[in-house]
Structure 1
Amino acid sequence: MTILVIAEHDNAELKGATFNTIAAAQKIGGDIHVLVAGSGADTVAEQAAKAAGVAKVLLADGAQLGDSLAENIAAQVLAVAKDYSHILFPATASGKNVAPRVAATLDVAQISDIIGVESADTFERPIYAGNAIATVQSSDAIKVITVRTTAFDAVAAEGGSAAIDKAEAVADSGLSSFVGREVAKSDRPELAGAAVVVSGGRGMGSAENFKLLDPLADKLGAALGASRAAVDAGYAPNDWQVGQTGKIVAPQLYVAIGISGAIQHLAGMKDSKVIVAINKDAEAPIFGVADYGLVADLFQAVPELVQAL
């Protein structure tokens, strides 16, 4: 039994989600190979080879793979798929874009967003916004799986010494072309992998008021997040959204400020190790999952908290 993990990267650095996905592969058991598909991605392949538990790295290098177009990456995965019993993707925007194409072409049922491994053919995944856990068993010869990365502790980035083999890059599918990319730059940690997250909700009142969270995030070295209501209201950018339709996070500390705690938001952060909530409504659902709750006016409480820190 050999497992293929699809690396997520930017052609220069291996993304943290890959290490969590390798951890899920270890739970399944068997040899673990990592596919690095990109352009000029030798450094990424070297990083993947050092990851604990990896037996081999496949490096497919070509200009047509450099921009991670889903059609081309899916074709590259399919070119080697027959050699594997399991194909694992991180359940990120990229992984969710490619995995269904691979599963459909292989004519197998994709197993999405797994949070646990019972055996090589049986997995756990959340349903109904995480209110129930489904146990799914698959008899498909090749199992295509996306992994909720917050459910698995990342393997060590150092300590491995896997061989790196070159794989022939597939031709450009011609189905899509790369036009451009606007990358939001921030000195703060990446939201999905941050150890501390400070999130604001509709209770912040405006985009201007959202800046009240900056000093707190600075003090805690935190990433900034937001509820869907705050994003929809224009208080925060889309890539800050935490929840069922946003990013799933599980930091060591999650601070929810002015967030009522709708079920869609809770689905994205309730696995956080410690949850602190500040809300003036004592009946807000967020207090049902919070380890520490403060019923107070956030406009008074947050500055006082910053000063205390």
Structure 2
Amino acid sequence: MNWKSEIAAAAERIKGHVQVTPVIETRGFGLDFPLEMKLEHMQHTGSFKARGAFNTLLSCDVPSAGVVAASGGNHGAAAAFAARALGLPAKIFVPEMAGPSKIALIEGIGADLTVVPGEYANALQQARAHEAATGAMQIHAYDAPATVAGQGTCFAEWEAQGLQADTVLIAVGGGGLIAGALAWLQGARKVVAVEPETSCALNAALRAGAPVDVQVSGIAANALGARRIGEICFGLAQGITSVLVPDEAIATAQRALWQERRLLVEPAGATALAALMCGAYRPEPGEKVAVLICGGNIAPDPFAG
């Protein structure tokens, strides 16, 4: 697949449907070097996921049964938002671990929502059953070419905004976002995968030499808690740097983003920064570093009600 052309086409396709999110240059966070940050938590529904959802729906004929998606929360909200914007029915399945804040977000968009006991894999199983029974079109959260191409538009956009970094740190769940980065950047910049120690599907796959099932838990599990890395991501991620961070480091980075820059983000959104703050990734002298802030759906929502 020519990923560059697919992502360029996706960028044209979704133009006007998604936000161009800002980039800042900053110092602080206990670091002795400057950072670039792309604030993708300011995207529609609070995460980068709207890009893949809109690209999927705009690149094919959607059946009359509408769309179905399984999600830890952010993807479900994005799929529901994109479907509503395009006048399509949407059925969303989320696990209980999505939490009340993300569940309320999806309900507020107006999708038909089912909350499933357990974790993301359980929600995906029910979404696939709904797809088989109704003919609805599945919008996969991360392991589909249209999803990956949509997420790749984030990095095409960032480069057009003047990305200077040698290295970009990206939080990883199922792998759609980092797959989009790898598909677009194609070695032009170093990409570092950052995962929680307790939800590390990509790191486990790279160590095993193939995607494997992992147990998922921890403060970022409702966004980064994929049980198995996507096949597309695994294929693109060979040879990349993969680091793990503890929950305590994620919480510290989340708090620092608010205290130092008044950026209110969910744990997943702080995970890439956590790798720098706790030393899981140490740049070389002179290495220019950037982090993607991927999600802002904090729980509990401080303004709910």
- Identify the TM-score tier after normalising by the shorter chain: 0.3 to 0.5
Higher strand share: 1
Higher helix share: 2
TM-score normalised over the length of structure 2: 0.32
Whichever of the two has the greater Rg, that structure is 1
